């Protein structure tokens, strides 16, 4: 079976899921906090891919360089499908994780919200969470170079992806914006955030992009 075919397939006609919403972004942008509150507001099923992979040992090994588990995305796909099928009847599903589009099939996704955070604020949060060395600089580079955004668009198409700038904002504000977009009371936008250009104009790029 190909990697693509291993992705979880949800049949909305059979299981009556209202919407399948993915929340993505680099570490420390606030994916899980936003997803948790969003799920509460929508009375939705919340699936945290990182927590699920750790709790149920759905990993294929350890990345010794970065000191992190390597999620087994095929196993996660199957497990997410089991959980959603058992509990997700007539409910929205909120899936959070930076590789969420590798776990849920593009055809079943309602929206992908990519959370963005200014690199200066993101660096402070990462350091508070213990990010150091390679792990810190790689993730900062990922945010500056729009990696999660590009991955999301490549996976599900431009029309389903929305960028949300969470810099300096409370969780309530971010969740309310997402709900407004889902309810078509606010436009979904992509391409308004350009950390690379902003840092270049401020001559600060070297502060955040380091040789690894």
Question: CA-CA distance, 189 to 201, in Å (whole number)?
Answer: 23
User: What does the buried/exposed string (b/e) look like for 113-133 if buried means 16 or more CB atoms within 10 Å of the residue's CB?
Assistant: bbbbbbbeebbeebeeeebee
Question: CA-CA distance, 53 to 141, in Å (whole number)?
Answer: 25
For residue 19, is pLDDT > 80? yes
Please, are residues 31 and 115 in contact by the beta-carbon 8 Å criterion? Answer: yes
pLDDT band (50, 70, 90) for residue 142 = very high
Please, are residues 89 and 47 in contact by the beta-carbon 8 Å criterion? Answer: no
Domain count, the chain: 1
76 or 31: whose pLDDT is higher?
A: 31
SS3 of 164-212: the string is EECCCCCHHHHHHHHHHHHCCCCCCCCCCCCHHHHHHHCCCHHHHCCCC
Residue with tokens 């499908």: 81
pLDDT band (50, 70, 90) for residue 2 = very low
Q: Of 21, 55, 58, which Cα lies nearest the Cα of 164?
A: 21
Position 105 scores a pLDDT of 85
For residue 12, is pLDDT > 60? no
Q: Which of 29-43, 75-89, 103-117 has the lowest mean pLDDT?
A: 75-89
155 or 59: whose pLDDT is higher?
A: 155
Position 56 scores a pLDDT of 67
CATH number at residue 89: 3.40.50.300
| Domain that residue 46 falls in | 4-208
* 31 exposure class (CB count in 10 Å sphere: 0-12, 13-18, 19+): buried
pLDDT band (50, 70, 90) for residue 17 = low
Q: Of 151, 32, 35, which Cα lies nearest the Cα of 103?
A: 151
Position 85 scores a pLDDT of 73
**Which pairing describes strands 59-63 and 68-71: parallel, antiparallel, or unpaired?**
antiparallel
For 68, residues 6+ apart whose C-beta sits below 8 A from its C-beta are 62, 135
- Please tell me which of 61-75, 84-98, 101-115 the model is most confident about, judged by mean pLDDT: 101-115
Please, are residues 98 and 27 in contact by the beta-carbon 8 Å criterion? Answer: yes
Please, are residues 60 and 70 in contact by the beta-carbon 8 Å criterion? Answer: yes
């Amino acid at each position: 079976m190909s990697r693509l075919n291993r992705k979880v397939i949800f049949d909305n006609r059979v299981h009556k899921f209202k919407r399948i919403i993915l929340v993505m972004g680099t570490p420390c942008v606030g994916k899980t906090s936003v997803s948790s509150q969003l799920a509460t507001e929508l009375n939705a099923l919340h699936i945290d891919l990182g927590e699920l992979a750790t709790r149920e040992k759905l990993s294929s090994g350890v990345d010794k360089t970065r000191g992190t588990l390597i999620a087994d995305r095929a196993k996660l796909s199957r497990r997410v499908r089991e959980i959603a099928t058992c509990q997700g009847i007539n409910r929205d599903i909120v899936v959070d994780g930076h590789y969420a589009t590798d776990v849920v099939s593009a055809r079943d996704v309602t929206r992908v919200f990519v959370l963005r955070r200014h690199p200066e604020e993101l660096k402070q949060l990462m350091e508070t969470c213990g990010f150091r060395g390679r792990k810190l600089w790689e993730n900062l580079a990922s945010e500056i170079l729009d990696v999660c955004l590009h991955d999301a668009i490549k996976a599900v198409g431009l029309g389903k992806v929305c960028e949300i700038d969470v810099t300096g904002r409370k969780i309530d504000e971010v969740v309310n914006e997402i709900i407004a977009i889902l309810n078509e009371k606010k436009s979904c936008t992509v391409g308004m955030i350009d950390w690379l250009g902003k840092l270049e104009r401020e001559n600060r790029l070297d502060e955040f992009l380091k040789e690894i």
